Structure 1
Protein backbone atom coordinates (compact mmCIF):
# COMPACT_ATOMS: atom_id res chain seq x y z
CA UNK A 1 0.00 0.00 0.00
CA UNK A 2 1.42 3.43 -0.90
CA UNK A 3 2.27 5.89 1.86
CA UNK A 4 0.53 8.78 0.06
CA UNK A 5 -2.29 8.83 -2.45
CA UNK A 6 -4.11 11.93 -3.74
CA UNK A 7 -2.48 13.95 -0.98
CA UNK A 8 -2.39 17.70 -1.51
CA UNK A 9 -0.41 20.15 0.62
CA UNK A 10 -0.14 23.88 0.07
CA UNK A 11 2.08 26.13 2.18
CA UNK A 12 1.00 29.80 2.03
CA UNK A 13 3.98 32.12 1.71
CA UNK A 14 5.09 33.90 4.85
CA UNK A 15 3.18 31.67 7.24
CA UNK A 16 4.05 28.93 9.72
CA UNK A 17 2.17 25.67 9.06
CA UNK A 18 2.28 22.95 11.72
CA UNK A 19 1.74 19.32 10.71
CA UNK A 20 0.69 16.73 13.27
CA UNK A 21 -0.17 13.06 13.00
CA UNK A 22 0.57 9.64 14.51
CA UNK A 23 4.05 8.15 14.32
CA UNK A 24 4.73 6.41 11.01
CA UNK A 25 2.04 8.22 9.05
CA UNK A 26 4.57 9.89 6.75
CA UNK A 27 5.28 13.35 8.19
CA UNK A 28 9.07 13.02 8.12
CA UNK A 29 8.96 11.38 4.67
CA UNK A 30 6.99 14.35 3.36
CA UNK A 31 9.50 16.75 4.90
CA UNK A 32 12.40 14.83 3.38
CA UNK A 33 10.81 14.95 -0.07
CA UNK A 34 10.38 18.72 0.21
CA UNK A 35 14.00 19.02 1.35
CA UNK A 36 15.26 16.94 -1.59
CA UNK A 37 16.48 14.16 0.71
CA UNK A 38 13.97 11.61 -0.63
CA UNK A 39 12.94 11.17 -4.24
CA UNK A 40 9.15 11.28 -4.71
CA UNK A 41 7.63 8.65 -6.96
CA UNK A 42 5.53 9.75 -9.96
CA UNK A 43 3.01 11.27 -10.25
CA UNK A 44 4.03 13.29 -7.16
CA UNK A 45 4.86 16.91 -7.98
CA UNK A 46 6.58 19.44 -5.73
CA UNK A 47 6.29 22.99 -7.04
CA UNK A 48 6.55 26.57 -5.81
CA UNK A 49 4.02 29.25 -6.73
CA UNK A 50 6.61 30.93 -8.96
CA UNK A 51 7.10 27.71 -10.92
CA UNK A 52 10.77 27.36 -9.96
CA UNK A 53 12.17 24.13 -8.47
CA UNK A 54 12.60 23.86 -4.70
CA UNK A 55 16.21 22.67 -4.93
CA UNK A 56 18.51 25.17 -3.25
CA UNK A 57 15.63 27.07 -1.66
CA UNK A 58 15.04 24.97 1.46
CA UNK A 59 16.58 25.00 4.95
CA UNK A 60 16.06 21.86 7.04
CA UNK A 61 16.22 21.54 10.83
CA UNK A 62 16.13 17.92 11.97
CA UNK A 63 14.99 16.39 15.27
CA UNK A 64 18.59 16.12 16.48
CA UNK A 65 20.86 19.16 16.51
CA UNK A 66 23.44 17.32 14.31
CA UNK A 67 26.25 19.63 15.45
CA UNK A 68 29.76 18.49 14.53
CA UNK A 69 31.52 17.93 17.86
CA UNK A 70 34.94 19.15 16.69
CA UNK A 71 33.61 22.52 15.51
CA UNK A 72 32.80 25.55 17.63
CA UNK A 73 29.28 26.94 17.79
CA UNK A 74 30.26 29.63 15.29
CA UNK A 75 31.80 27.11 12.90
CA UNK A 76 28.70 24.92 13.13
CA UNK A 77 26.52 27.88 12.18
CA UNK A 78 28.65 28.56 9.08
CA UNK A 79 28.89 24.86 8.14
CA UNK A 80 26.59 25.15 5.12
CA UNK A 81 28.71 27.86 3.51
CA UNK A 82 31.84 25.83 4.22
CA UNK A 83 30.42 22.68 2.61
CA UNK A 84 29.46 24.70 -0.47
CA UNK A 85 33.01 26.03 -0.73
CA UNK A 86 31.93 29.62 -0.16
CA UNK A 87 34.54 32.04 1.21
CA UNK A 88 34.47 32.45 5.00
CA UNK A 89 34.81 36.19 4.91
CA UNK A 90 34.00 38.85 7.46
CA UNK A 91 30.41 39.19 6.28
CA UNK A 92 29.73 35.46 6.77
CA UNK A 93 31.36 35.37 10.19
CA UNK A 94 29.64 38.57 11.24
CA UNK A 95 26.21 37.29 10.24
CA UNK A 96 26.78 33.99 12.06
CA UNK A 97 27.91 35.85 15.19
CA UNK A 98 24.82 38.07 15.01
CA UNK A 99 22.52 35.03 14.75
CA UNK A 100 24.21 33.47 17.77
CA UNK A 101 23.64 36.73 19.63
CA UNK A 102 19.97 36.72 18.63
CA UNK A 103 19.50 33.20 19.98
CA UNK A 104 21.18 34.23 23.23
CA UNK A 105 24.58 32.61 22.63
CA UNK A 106 26.70 35.61 21.71
CA UNK A 107 29.19 34.70 24.42
CA UNK A 108 29.33 31.02 23.46
CA UNK A 109 30.54 31.33 19.86
CA UNK A 110 33.84 29.60 20.67
CA UNK A 111 32.31 26.75 22.66
CA UNK A 112 32.15 23.23 21.27
CA UNK A 113 28.96 21.15 21.49
CA UNK A 114 30.19 19.08 24.44
CA UNK A 115 30.31 22.26 26.53
CA UNK A 116 26.74 23.27 25.64
CA UNK A 117 23.47 22.20 27.21
CA UNK A 118 20.75 20.52 25.16
CA UNK A 119 18.85 23.78 24.85
CA UNK A 120 21.97 25.66 23.80
CA UNK A 121 22.74 23.07 21.14
CA UNK A 122 19.24 23.42 19.71
CA UNK A 123 19.69 27.19 19.62
CA UNK A 124 22.91 26.73 17.63
CA UNK A 125 20.99 24.43 15.25
CA UNK A 126 18.28 27.09 14.90
CA UNK A 127 20.91 29.73 14.12
CA UNK A 128 22.50 27.41 11.54
CA UNK A 129 19.11 26.91 9.90
CA UNK A 130 18.48 30.66 9.73
CA UNK A 131 22.02 31.21 8.43
CA UNK A 132 20.97 29.45 5.22
CA UNK A 133 18.42 32.24 4.60
CA UNK A 134 16.15 30.09 2.42
CA UNK A 135 12.56 30.92 1.43
CA UNK A 136 11.24 27.62 2.87
CA UNK A 137 12.18 26.37 6.34
CA UNK A 138 11.40 22.76 7.28
CA UNK A 139 11.53 21.75 10.96
CA UNK A 140 11.14 18.13 12.11
CA UNK A 141 10.24 18.02 15.81
CA UNK A 142 13.18 20.33 16.58
CA UNK A 143 12.40 20.79 20.28
CA UNK A 144 10.97 17.38 21.19
CA UNK A 145 13.97 16.21 23.23
CA UNK A 146 13.99 19.24 25.53
CA UNK A 147 12.43 19.74 28.95
CA UNK A 148 9.12 21.61 29.08
CA UNK A 149 10.50 24.99 30.18
CA UNK A 150 13.37 25.02 27.68
CA UNK A 151 10.94 23.97 24.96
CA UNK A 152 8.61 26.88 25.75
CA UNK A 153 11.52 29.32 25.65
CA UNK A 154 12.76 28.03 22.30
CA UNK A 155 9.24 28.15 20.90
CA UNK A 156 9.10 31.83 21.88
CA UNK A 157 12.49 32.42 20.27
CA UNK A 158 11.62 30.54 17.07
CA UNK A 159 8.30 32.37 16.70
CA UNK A 160 10.14 35.69 16.63
CA UNK A 161 13.01 34.64 14.39
CA UNK A 162 10.81 32.83 11.86
CA UNK A 163 8.20 35.59 11.53
CA UNK A 164 7.43 36.30 7.88
CA UNK A 165 9.09 33.10 6.60
CA UNK A 166 7.37 30.13 4.98
CA UNK A 167 7.72 27.34 7.53
CA UNK A 168 6.52 23.74 7.78
CA UNK A 169 6.86 22.47 11.35
CA UNK A 170 6.32 18.79 12.08
CA UNK A 171 5.49 18.18 15.73
CA UNK A 172 3.76 15.71 18.03
CA UNK A 173 2.93 18.49 20.49
CA UNK A 174 -0.48 20.13 19.90
CA UNK A 175 0.39 22.98 22.27
CA UNK A 176 3.60 23.73 20.36
CA UNK A 177 1.65 23.86 17.10
CA UNK A 178 -0.99 26.16 18.56
CA UNK A 179 1.56 28.51 20.11
CA UNK A 180 3.71 29.27 17.06
CA UNK A 181 1.78 28.30 13.91
CA UNK A 182 -0.60 30.31 11.76
CA UNK A 183 -2.44 27.16 10.65
CA UNK A 184 -2.42 23.54 11.78
CA UNK A 185 -2.87 20.40 9.67
CA UNK A 186 -3.45 16.81 10.78
CA UNK A 187 -2.20 13.87 8.69
CA UNK A 188 -3.85 10.49 9.24
CA UNK A 189 -4.52 7.16 7.56
CA UNK A 190 -2.79 4.80 5.16
CA UNK A 191 -2.52 6.03 2.46
CA UNK A 192 -2.16 9.28 4.37
CA UNK A 193 -4.52 12.19 3.92
CA UNK A 194 -4.47 15.71 5.31
CA UNK A 195 -7.64 17.17 6.80
CA UNK A 196 -8.96 20.71 6.56
CA UNK A 197 -6.60 23.30 8.07
CA UNK A 198 -7.26 24.70 11.50
CA UNK A 199 -6.69 28.45 11.10
CA UNK A 200 -5.39 30.40 14.08
CA UNK A 201 -5.66 34.08 14.91
CA UNK A 202 -3.58 36.48 16.96
CA UNK A 203 0.12 37.09 17.26
CA UNK A 204 2.62 34.36 18.04
CA UNK A 205 3.89 33.03 20.35
CA UNK A 206 0.54 32.53 22.03
CA UNK A 207 0.41 32.08 25.78
CA UNK A 208 0.25 28.40 26.78
CA UNK A 209 -2.59 29.15 29.23
CA UNK A 210 -4.67 31.18 26.76
CA UNK A 211 -8.25 29.79 27.01
CA UNK A 212 -8.61 29.86 23.20
CA UNK A 213 -5.38 27.87 22.83
CA UNK A 214 -6.50 25.33 25.41
CA UNK A 215 -9.87 24.92 23.69
CA UNK A 216 -8.19 24.36 20.32
CA UNK A 217 -5.82 21.88 21.93
CA UNK A 218 -8.84 19.77 22.78
CA UNK A 219 -10.07 20.02 19.18
CA UNK A 220 -6.68 18.95 17.86
CA UNK A 221 -6.55 15.97 20.18
CA UNK A 222 -9.99 14.92 18.95
CA UNK A 223 -8.81 15.13 15.32
CA UNK A 224 -5.71 13.09 16.10
CA UNK A 225 -7.74 10.43 17.90
CA UNK A 226 -10.40 10.19 15.20
Structure 2
Protein backbone atom coordinates (compact mmCIF):
# COMPACT_ATOMS: atom_id res chain seq x y z
CA UNK A 1 0.00 0.00 0.00
CA UNK A 2 1.45 3.36 -1.03
CA UNK A 3 0.82 7.05 -0.48
CA UNK A 4 2.34 8.92 -3.43
CA UNK A 5 2.70 12.70 -3.01
CA UNK A 6 -0.58 12.83 -1.05
CA UNK A 7 -1.82 16.23 0.10
CA UNK A 8 -4.94 16.82 2.17
CA UNK A 9 -6.36 19.74 4.14
CA UNK A 10 -9.37 20.41 6.34
CA UNK A 11 -10.21 24.00 5.44
CA UNK A 12 -7.15 26.09 6.30
CA UNK A 13 -5.47 23.26 8.22
CA UNK A 14 -2.97 21.38 6.05
CA UNK A 15 -2.91 17.80 7.33
CA UNK A 16 -0.31 16.44 4.92
CA UNK A 17 1.69 17.93 2.07
CA UNK A 18 3.08 15.62 -0.63
CA UNK A 19 3.24 12.69 1.80
CA UNK A 20 5.05 9.56 0.59
CA UNK A 21 4.51 6.38 2.56
CA UNK A 22 4.71 2.64 1.95
CA UNK A 23 3.07 0.01 4.18
CA UNK A 24 3.95 -3.69 4.21
CA UNK A 25 1.30 -6.22 3.23
CA UNK A 26 0.44 -9.02 5.65
CA UNK A 27 1.67 -6.97 8.61
CA UNK A 28 0.15 -4.79 11.32
CA UNK A 29 1.19 -1.16 10.92
CA UNK A 30 0.38 1.15 13.83
CA UNK A 31 -0.19 4.88 13.33
CA UNK A 32 0.80 6.44 16.66
CA UNK A 33 0.49 10.09 17.57
CA UNK A 34 -1.09 12.64 19.86
CA UNK A 35 -4.82 13.37 19.68
CA UNK A 36 -5.79 15.57 16.73
CA UNK A 37 -2.61 14.94 14.74
CA UNK A 38 -4.48 13.34 11.81
CA UNK A 39 -4.26 9.59 12.43
CA UNK A 40 -7.95 8.92 11.79
CA UNK A 41 -7.93 11.12 8.69
CA UNK A 42 -5.17 8.97 7.17
CA UNK A 43 -7.34 5.95 7.90
CA UNK A 44 -10.28 7.60 6.15
CA UNK A 45 -8.09 8.34 3.14
CA UNK A 46 -7.19 4.65 2.92
CA UNK A 47 -10.86 3.68 3.29
CA UNK A 48 -11.88 6.08 0.52
CA UNK A 49 -14.15 8.04 2.85
CA UNK A 50 -12.28 11.22 1.91
CA UNK A 51 -10.20 11.89 -1.19
CA UNK A 52 -6.71 13.44 -1.41
CA UNK A 53 -6.59 16.90 -2.96
CA UNK A 54 -3.31 15.93 -4.61
CA UNK A 55 -1.46 12.68 -5.20
CA UNK A 56 -2.76 9.13 -5.06
CA UNK A 57 -3.04 5.97 -2.98
CA UNK A 58 -2.35 2.57 -4.53
CA UNK A 59 -2.26 -1.09 -3.61
CA UNK A 60 -5.47 -0.85 -1.57
CA UNK A 61 -8.04 -3.63 -1.72
CA UNK A 62 -11.41 -2.72 -3.23
CA UNK A 63 -13.23 -3.73 -0.05
CA UNK A 64 -11.89 -3.17 3.45
CA UNK A 65 -13.03 -4.07 6.95
CA UNK A 66 -13.42 -1.32 9.55
CA UNK A 67 -13.39 -1.66 13.35
CA UNK A 68 -13.69 1.49 15.45
CA UNK A 69 -14.25 2.63 19.02
CA UNK A 70 -17.99 2.03 18.68
CA UNK A 71 -18.97 -1.58 18.03
CA UNK A 72 -21.91 -0.49 15.81
CA UNK A 73 -23.89 -3.66 16.53
CA UNK A 74 -27.48 -3.63 15.33
CA UNK A 75 -29.62 -3.82 18.49
CA UNK A 76 -32.48 -5.66 16.76
CA UNK A 77 -30.19 -8.48 15.55
CA UNK A 78 -28.80 -11.32 17.63
CA UNK A 79 -25.07 -11.67 18.22
CA UNK A 80 -24.90 -14.35 15.51
CA UNK A 81 -26.82 -12.20 13.02
CA UNK A 82 -24.51 -9.25 13.71
CA UNK A 83 -21.48 -11.42 12.94
CA UNK A 84 -23.04 -12.39 9.59
CA UNK A 85 -24.01 -8.80 8.74
CA UNK A 86 -21.67 -8.65 5.73
CA UNK A 87 -23.61 -11.47 4.07
CA UNK A 88 -26.93 -9.77 4.79
CA UNK A 89 -25.77 -6.47 3.29
CA UNK A 90 -24.24 -8.08 0.18
CA UNK A 91 -27.14 -10.46 -0.46
CA UNK A 92 -24.93 -13.53 0.01
CA UNK A 93 -26.04 -16.67 1.81
CA UNK A 94 -25.02 -16.45 5.49
CA UNK A 95 -22.49 -19.06 6.62
CA UNK A 96 -23.82 -19.94 10.06
CA UNK A 97 -21.21 -22.65 10.66
CA UNK A 98 -18.36 -20.22 10.06
CA UNK A 99 -20.03 -17.53 12.19
CA UNK A 100 -20.41 -19.98 15.08
CA UNK A 101 -16.75 -20.94 14.69
CA UNK A 102 -15.67 -17.29 14.88
CA UNK A 103 -17.80 -16.72 17.97
CA UNK A 104 -16.08 -19.71 19.55
CA UNK A 105 -12.70 -18.16 18.70
CA UNK A 106 -13.62 -14.95 20.53
CA UNK A 107 -15.12 -16.86 23.46
CA UNK A 108 -18.77 -16.03 22.81
CA UNK A 109 -20.19 -19.24 21.37
CA UNK A 110 -22.78 -19.43 24.17
CA UNK A 111 -23.98 -15.88 23.43
CA UNK A 112 -24.94 -16.49 19.78
CA UNK A 113 -28.65 -15.86 20.34
CA UNK A 114 -28.21 -13.02 22.84
CA UNK A 115 -29.12 -9.41 22.07
CA UNK A 116 -26.26 -6.87 22.04
CA UNK A 117 -27.88 -5.07 24.99
CA UNK A 118 -27.22 -8.15 27.13
CA UNK A 119 -23.45 -7.94 26.61
CA UNK A 120 -20.70 -5.97 28.35
CA UNK A 121 -18.59 -3.47 26.41
CA UNK A 122 -15.74 -5.94 26.07
CA UNK A 123 -18.07 -8.68 24.85
CA UNK A 124 -19.58 -6.33 22.27
CA UNK A 125 -16.11 -5.54 20.91
CA UNK A 126 -15.46 -9.28 20.66
CA UNK A 127 -18.58 -9.55 18.50
CA UNK A 128 -17.28 -6.66 16.38
CA UNK A 129 -13.98 -8.53 15.98
CA UNK A 130 -15.80 -11.70 14.91
CA UNK A 131 -17.80 -9.64 12.40
CA UNK A 132 -14.55 -8.15 11.06
CA UNK A 133 -13.06 -11.63 10.61
CA UNK A 134 -16.25 -12.93 8.99
CA UNK A 135 -15.97 -10.27 6.26
CA UNK A 136 -12.63 -11.79 5.08
CA UNK A 137 -11.28 -8.50 3.74
CA UNK A 138 -7.71 -8.20 2.56
CA UNK A 139 -7.23 -4.98 4.53
CA UNK A 140 -8.45 -4.31 8.08
CA UNK A 141 -8.64 -0.71 9.32
CA UNK A 142 -8.87 -0.21 13.08
CA UNK A 143 -9.55 3.22 14.61
CA UNK A 144 -8.72 3.03 18.34
CA UNK A 145 -10.97 -0.04 18.81
CA UNK A 146 -10.03 -0.54 22.47
CA UNK A 147 -9.97 3.09 23.64
CA UNK A 148 -13.19 2.94 25.68
CA UNK A 149 -12.49 -0.37 27.45
CA UNK A 150 -11.13 -0.94 30.94
CA UNK A 151 -7.45 -1.82 31.17
CA UNK A 152 -7.82 -5.56 31.74
CA UNK A 153 -10.37 -6.00 28.94
CA UNK A 154 -8.24 -3.85 26.65
CA UNK A 155 -5.17 -6.02 27.12
CA UNK A 156 -7.17 -9.23 26.64
CA UNK A 157 -8.65 -7.94 23.38
CA UNK A 158 -5.28 -6.69 22.15
CA UNK A 159 -3.92 -10.22 22.57
CA UNK A 160 -6.95 -11.83 20.92
CA UNK A 161 -7.03 -9.37 18.01
CA UNK A 162 -3.30 -9.63 17.29
CA UNK A 163 -3.53 -13.42 17.33
CA UNK A 164 -6.59 -13.73 15.10
CA UNK A 165 -5.48 -11.09 12.58
CA UNK A 166 -1.93 -12.41 12.23
CA UNK A 167 -0.94 -12.54 8.56
CA UNK A 168 -3.54 -9.97 7.45
CA UNK A 169 -2.76 -6.42 6.41
CA UNK A 170 -3.87 -4.28 9.34
CA UNK A 171 -3.68 -0.51 9.82
CA UNK A 172 -4.27 0.38 13.47
CA UNK A 173 -4.68 3.91 14.83
CA UNK A 174 -3.85 4.54 18.49
CA UNK A 175 -2.48 7.20 20.84
CA UNK A 176 -1.34 4.52 23.32
CA UNK A 177 2.41 3.68 23.11
CA UNK A 178 1.92 0.42 25.02
CA UNK A 179 -0.71 -0.74 22.54
CA UNK A 180 1.58 0.16 19.65
CA UNK A 181 4.51 -1.75 21.15
CA UNK A 182 2.39 -4.83 21.84
CA UNK A 183 0.62 -5.10 18.49
CA UNK A 184 2.81 -3.58 15.79
CA UNK A 185 5.03 -5.14 13.18
CA UNK A 186 5.75 -1.56 12.08
CA UNK A 187 5.25 1.68 14.03
CA UNK A 188 4.78 5.00 12.23
CA UNK A 189 5.08 7.95 14.60
CA UNK A 190 3.04 10.92 13.37
CA UNK A 191 3.91 14.49 14.32
CA UNK A 192 3.94 18.05 13.03
CA UNK A 193 1.72 20.12 10.76
CA UNK A 194 1.89 19.34 7.90
CA UNK A 195 2.27 15.75 8.95
CA UNK A 196 5.69 14.15 9.28
CA UNK A 197 6.20 10.41 9.69
CA UNK A 198 8.99 8.75 11.65
CA UNK A 199 9.56 5.00 11.32
CA UNK A 200 10.07 3.72 14.87
CA UNK A 201 11.87 0.47 15.65
CA UNK A 202 9.53 -2.10 17.20
CA UNK A 203 10.59 -4.19 20.22
CA UNK A 204 11.95 -7.67 19.54
CA UNK A 205 9.60 -10.63 19.84
CA UNK A 206 6.43 -11.98 18.31
CA UNK A 207 3.15 -10.04 18.25
CA UNK A 208 1.32 -9.83 20.63
CA UNK A 209 4.25 -9.04 22.91
CA UNK A 210 4.04 -9.87 26.61
CA UNK A 211 3.15 -7.00 28.92
CA UNK A 212 6.09 -7.74 31.21
CA UNK A 213 8.67 -7.94 28.41
CA UNK A 214 11.63 -5.71 29.28
CA UNK A 215 12.15 -4.61 25.68
CA UNK A 216 8.48 -3.65 25.35
CA UNK A 217 8.55 -1.59 28.55
CA UNK A 218 11.69 0.23 27.45
CA UNK A 219 10.23 0.95 24.01
CA UNK A 220 7.02 2.23 25.63
CA UNK A 221 9.00 4.64 27.83
CA UNK A 222 10.99 5.91 24.85
CA UNK A 223 7.83 6.46 22.83
CA UNK A 224 6.19 8.35 25.71
CA UNK A 225 9.25 10.59 25.88
CA UNK A 226 9.26 11.24 22.13
CA UNK A 227 5.51 11.95 22.01
CA UNK A 228 5.90 14.34 24.93
CA UNK A 229 8.66 16.22 23.14
CA UNK A 230 6.52 16.51 19.99
CA UNK A 231 3.56 17.80 22.01
CA UNK A 232 5.70 20.47 23.70
CA UNK A 233 7.17 21.53 20.36
CA UNK A 234 3.73 21.95 18.84
Decide: shared fold, TM above 0.5.
yes
Any conservation in 2 of the 1:5–1:193 contact (CA below 8 Å)? Answer: no
Cross-structure match for 2:225: 222
- How far residue 193 of structure 1 moved from its aligned partner, in angstroms, is 1.3
Find the aligned partners of 1:148 and 1:218 in 2 and give their Cα distance: 18
Give every structure 1 segment of 4 or more consecutive aligned residues whose post-TM-superposition deviation is greater than 3 Å: none
For residue 42 of structure 1, report the CA deviation from its aligned partner. Answer: 2.2
Matching of residue 193 in structure 1 with residue 196 in structure 2: yes
Task: State the shift of 1:206 in Å.
Answer: 1.1
Using the TM superposition, give the Cα deviation of residue 181 of structure 1 relative to its aligned residue in structure 2, in angstroms. Answer: 1.1
Counterpart CA distance in 2 for 1:211 and 1:197 is 17
Instruction: Return the offset for 1:8.
Output: 2.3
Which runs of no fewer than 5 residues in structure 1 stay unpaired?
none
Quote the residue 1:71 is aligned against: 77
Q: CA deviation at 1:199?
A: 3.2
> Are residues 1:209 and 2:212 paired?
yes
Whole-Å separation in 2 of the counterparts to 1:67 and 1:75: 10
Q: What residue in structure 2 maps to residue 32 of structure 1?
A: 44
CA contact (8 A) 2:29 2:187 kept: yes
- CA–CA distance in structure 2, aligned partners of residues 134 and 203 of structure 1: 23
2:22 partner SS: coil
Q: Is the 8 A contact 2:203 2:216 kept in 1?
A: no
For the 8 Å contact 2:61–2:138, the answer to whether it is kept is no
Where does 1:1-226 land on structure 2 (aligned, <5 Å)? 1-43=13-55, 45-48=56-59, 54-56=61-63, 58-88=64-94, 92-226=95-229
Cα shift readout 1:111-161 (whole Å, capped 9, x = no counterpart)? 111000000000000111111111111101001111111111111111110
Asked whether the 8 Å contact 1:35–1:55 carries over to 2, the reply is no
Which ranges in structure 2 are unaligned for 5 or more consecutive residues? 1-12, 230-234
Alpha carbons 1:14, 1:165 under 8 Å: kept:
yes
Q: Indicate conservation of the 8 Å contact 1:186/1:223, yes or no.
A: no
CA–CA distance in structure 1, aligned partners of residues 86 and 44 of structure 2: 18
Indicate if the aligned counterparts of 1:15 and 1:165 stay in contact, CA closer than 8 A. yes
Aligned CA distance change for structure 1 residues 222 and 6 (closer, same or farther; 3 Å): farther
- Work out the CA distance in 1 between the residues paired with 2:112 and 2:18: 46
Q: What CA distance in whole angstroms lies between the structure 1 residues aligned with 2:41 and 2:227?
A: 19
Q: CA deviation at 1:14?
A: 1.3
Q: CA deviation at 1:163?
A: 0.8
- Structure number with the higher strand fraction is 2
Counterpart in 1 of 2:4? Answer: none
Deviation at residue 185 of structure 1 after TM alignment: 1.2
TM-score scaled by length of structure 2: 0.89
Root mean square deviation of aligned Cα: 1.3
Aligned residues: 217
